[in-house]
Amino acid sequence: MRILGLDFGSKTVGVAISDPLLITAQGLEIIRRKEENKLRQTLARIEEIITEYGVERIVLGLPKNMNDTEGVRVELTREFAEKLERRTGLPVEFYDERLTTVMADKTMMESGVRRENRKDFVDKIAATLILQDYLDRMHRKKD
């Protein structure tokens, strides 16, 4: 079994995948969209990844505000989750993604990635952080 981690943004979706033992998350790719409202190709690509890796569950970052309120991005993310569930038949779990983009940016800064190149990786790294945190919590609950 594998779990797919997604960081849904207005123009991109960062994608990460777990290993079969559900221990580690690896960044996979960034799906780019030409228009925010066009999701058909994005959903098709996610379906391909699900089939290729044998994914059985999806974890989707939920972009709550720092004060724990929900804004427009949360609403759009929930709509995306509904489309994902309908199209793939897989359960979608939400996971608090606050500060993951900040952590991804900091990780790249510490790794020496130039500022102008960070936007090429940030969504994939954020998806990896979301999924890894989810996996770590899942294991802590078992213990």
CATH of the domain at 134: 3.30.420.140
Average pLDDT, the chain: 87
pLDDT at res. 105:
64
Residues paired with residue 62 on neighbouring β-strands, in sequence order: 96
Q: For the segment 51-103, what is each residue's pLDDT rounded down to a tens digit?
A: 999 999 999 999 886 777 777 888 999 999 999 999 999 999 999 887 676 66
HSE at residue 136, side-chain half, CA atoms within 13 A, is 8
pLDDT at res. 10:
85
84: Cα separation from own chain's centroid: 13
The number of residues in the chain equals 143
Output the six-digit token pair for 120. 């090429």
Give φ, ψ of 106 to 5 degrees.
-65, -40
pLDDT at res. 135:
95
Confidence of residue 19 (pLDDT cuts 50, 70, 90): very high
Q: What percent of the chain has pLDDT over 90?
A: 57
Give the Å distances, CA to CA, from 48 to 75, 97, 99, 109: 25, 24, 29, 32
- Structural domains of the chain, count: 1
